Structure 1
């Protein structure tokens, strides 16, 4: 009986912790990733400590976004999406685009990710906190190149991001079909 009570308490604590984490997501994001002026920073630890949502490969060299795409979010953002089907306020999505390498392996011709080229960052802002050129449709938008991952080189949401994301407008501007972790 004591073991059952302990397991019940552990489950309750886990649930309470996950709810607290989801509620703290926006606070953390808007204190540590987005400053008071709406400037978005590229989180340095995403590949190591965030959830990998899925990968895409745009294999045509001349296509916009050509490369191997890995997409990451905070663990509590992924959990909240799975529970509600919505991106919580403060959710950060990072798409890391890497070069494509290839070669023959014992299993046949293979493709794999090379060095990072760019990072696209989206920040969910359900409260529309910011009004600048990098904020639109309930998201903040940023683009960083590998040669300077501290400088947002996006011209604006309208000029740099919207054109590619318009086909995903019905899914809140995110191509969720490529993210099996959210299902």
Structure 2
């Protein structure tokens, strides 16, 4: 009888621990959900979409710390290879926010909220320590593309394009979305995927291959 009572007591204790564990887990999930909702609310108040932040007037704020993001490539179309009249003769150092890059690796798609930064640098010369070639000079501009179905519902692919170039090479702190005709037609005509020139970025090609 004593042994049976001991077994019942042990079973009750185990059941009690299971209940406590379940309650603790539920509490943790609720707290996590509450934290996520709080972060989401704060993000909405600050006009954030993914890694992008907008002011009350709808201007995109200059992205911060983008050089810590995922670097995907640096195409260059120099003047001397384009009859002296290249549309964009600078180096384009291209970055994508880490969260969007991770999902691109997993799904092969650019999520709503993707931010792509294109930092421009002049072509500084044709000679270097390793021989003749093209080398970046000074930074002279910055452009950003943001994918948002809520802000750019009427734009092709839901992409908005921004130019932060200012006077004397100084970047502006905020920028309005450019007219559709400014950037989108070229992307629609030439980009390999979702208005993004993935064909020119080996990092993105490698990510899709995994």
Common fold: TM-score over 0.5: yes
The within-5 A match list for 1:1-183 is 29-30=48-49, 33-35=53-55, 37-47=57-67, 49-60=68-79, 61-125=84-148, 127-130=149-152, 135-145=155-165, 146-152=169-175, 155-158=178-181, 160-168=182-190, 171-182=193-204, 183=206
Aligned residues: 154
Q: Residues of 2 paired with 1:36 and 1:170: CA distance?
A: 34
Can you list the C-alpha shifts for 1:7-27, whole angstroms capped at 9, x where unaligned? xxxxxxxxxxxxx9xxx8xx5
RMSD over aligned Cα atoms = 2.7
How many angstroms does 1:169 deviate by?
5.1
Q: Residues of 1 paired with 2:70 and 2:115: CA distance?
A: 11
Q: If you compute each CA radius of gyration, which structure gives the higher value, 1 or 2?
A: 2
Q: Residues of 2 paired with 1:68 and 1:104: CA distance?
A: 16
Unaligned runs of 5+ in 1: 1-19
Equivalent pair of 1:54/1:178 in contact (CA under 8 Å): yes
The structure richer in strand per residue is: 1
Equivalent pair of 2:94/2:119 in contact (CA under 8 Å): yes
Helix, strand or coil at the partner of 1:181: helix
Q: Residues of 1 paired with 2:178 and 2:151: CA distance?
A: 20
Q: Residues of 2 paired with 1:156 and 1:141: CA distance?
A: 8
How many angstroms does 1:57 deviate by?
0.7
How many angstroms does 1:150 deviate by?
1.9
Deviant stretches of 4+, over 6 Å = none
What TM-score comes out, normalization by structure 1 length?
Answer: 0.71
